[in-house]
Amino acid sequence: MLDTLLSLDYNLLKTIHIISATLLYGTGLGTFFFMIRATRSGNAEALRVTAATVVLADWIFTSPAVVVQLITGLLLMHRLGYAFTSGWFMVVMALFFFIGALWLPVVWIQLQLRNMLQAMMPGDPLPARFIRLVRIWEYLGYPAFGTGIGVFALMVYKPWLS
């Protein structure tokens, strides 16, 4: 299996890496936007559907894209002969894991929000815990997306490797 992965065409690897980055960032940004909009509407039914969709999107798109990003990134590093001990790689990996450290509690919060909404009866007000968790969820998103932009810049410019 490893031999097959290591023998993949460079352009194919790069294409897969770019598509997975697009899915990862795009799905995250899209679900973030829709969840914030639904929350601010105060419409519990819209929130119920949106929260369930956000959880589903993370399972279908975001989680696999994280794995593909890591694997294709490592394969590209190997293919290009870049040192896994380079400062550039260390910074990229630190940022990758920083984003992951923000994303893991986000996933837990999304599950909590979805479950709270599913347990509510029509007409029930949003619980205070829901509002608190959405706020934490939102505040975790800002540094994650900002850091993601930094990772994109590092991928494009590759400072310290030129």
Environment class of 151 (CB within 10 Å of its CB; exposed 0-12, middle 13-18, buried 19+)? buried
Q: Where are the domains of the chain?
A: 9-157
Radius of gyration of the chain (CA): 18
Rounded distance between C-alpha atoms, residue 94 and residue 141, angstroms: 17
pLDDT on residue 160: 75
Distances (CA, A) of 36 to 8, 49, 71, 84, 90: 40, 13, 31, 38, 33
**What percent of the chain is helix, strand and coil (3-state, nearest 5)?**
85, 0, 15
Give the relative orientation of helices 10-41 and 63-80 as an angle to the nearest 10 degrees.
150
The string of pLDDT tens digits covering residues 108-125 is 999 999 999 999 998 899
Instruction: Yes or no: say if 114 and 49 are a contact pair by the CB < 8 Å rule.
Output: no
User: Which amino acid belongs to residue 87?
Assistant: G
Residue in the block written with tokens 């590209």: 76
DSSP code at position 118: H
Enter the pTM of the model.
0.88
Picking from 88, 79, 81, the residue whose alpha carbon sits closest to that of residue 12 is 79
pLDDT value of position 1: 72
Walk along the chain (162 residues) and give the pLDDT tens digit of each residue: 767 767 888 999 999 999 999 999 999 999 999 999 999 999 999 999 999 999 999 999 999 999 999 999 999 999 999 999 999 999 999 999 999 999 999 999 999 999 999 999 988 999 999 999 999 999 999 999 999 999 999 999 988 765
